[in-house]
Amino acid sequence: MAPSSCCVCGQAVGSDAPRLGGRAYCERHFLKVARRRGSVARASLLTLLALVLFAGLVAVLARFAKPVPEGSALVLVSLVLALVPAALWLLFFYLQDTLEPEPKAFVFGVFVLGGLLASAVAIPLLRDLFQVQEWLGSSFWANLLGSVLVVGFVQEFLKYAAVRYSVYLLPEFDERMDGILYGTAAGLGFATMLNILYVVESGGVDLGMGVVRIVVTALAQASFSGITGYFLARAKFEEERVWWLPLGLTLAAVLNGLFSVVRGSITRSGSVLSQRTASPWLGLVLAGVVAVVTLGALLYLVRRANERTMAGGEGV
């Protein structure tokens, strides 16, 4: 077999270099790509628990708080609440990643890029070009197809782009778990901007029910972009077929759309975008279940692939 170069750092390697999925690695990056890294999993699980507790605590405090904030004070408090989900994840990630450090600037950069794409591209596309607010809730089929084919694909492609055309191209993206990490960061950035715009355009939100919507948006957006991140990691470290990345993007978009439809149904919402819910706590339960199942499945797939790699086989 002819000499080649490491697919991560570009260093020249010999014909006997370790290979994974048809791609050559230097010794250092072959060991790193399959290392066990619990920091991402721990940070994600801690954030999930903290967000549920956060939503419950704010809802209880809002019920008994006197006087209730109004006007600019309400907007300010609501903006702070909109930033909490991302702040919690970044805090837990920073604390858990001390032994297995990831460049913090890259993580934060992907987070910011996800937010910028939400504000500069997603919102103008969905509201001004597709005008989904005019027809999305008109019927079941319009809701389902629009939520998947329009809202789902626009949102998931932009979160995919935030990773694919930034840190994905750098040597620092050097292990499978990085896909989930950076995908989650992009999703949280995207969700944070959606929540900020929602707060500003609404002139503040009801502190009890508003915080539930904020948490639901964060959990859902982070979960679905984590799926795309997993597919990106597989594509970088292994030779996948041409349909591999479109498959990952499609899966994330379909789940995104289905989540919106099911959430709207169980909370008896008038439309997916209106956010007028009669029982938002059911939406929070649904988002929590989706986040746990998605994270668990992704972590299992990464661990299984890493074990096979370290045992001398290929990733799965």
Helical (H) or strand (E) element with 20? strand 19-20
Residue written as token pair 């990490």: 181
3-state SS class at 166: coil
Q: Assign residue 204 a region: left if phi > 0, alpha if psi is -120 to 50, beta otherwise? A: left
Q: What percent of the chain has pLDDT over 90?
A: 45
Distance of CA 157 to the CA centre of its chain: 12
User: What's the pLDDT score for residue 28?
Assistant: 72
Q: Report the amino acid identity of residue 136.
A: L
The rounded distance, in Å, linking the Cα atoms of 150 and 221 is: 15
Position 279 pLDDT exceeds 60: yes
pLDDT in tens, 92-150: 887 766 655 667 889 999 999 999 999 999 999 999 999 999 999 889 999 999 999 99
Distance of CA 63 to the CA centre of its chain: 31
Strand partners of residue 103: none
CA separation, residue 224 to residues 2, 35, 255, 259 (Å): 40, 24, 7, 10
Kindly state the tokens that stand for 42: 């721990």
| CA-wise closest residue to 227 among 296, 171, 145, 304 | 296
pLDDT in tens, 217-261: 999 999 999 999 999 999 988 878 899 999 999 999 999 999 999
The larger pLDDT score, comparing residue 84 to residue 8, is at 84
Banded pLDDT at 274 (limits 50, 70, 90): very low
User: What's the pLDDT score for residue 202?
Assistant: 87
The rounded distance, in Å, linking the Cα atoms of 221 and 123 is: 15
Largest pairwise CA distance in the chain? 75
Residues comprising the chain, all counted: 316
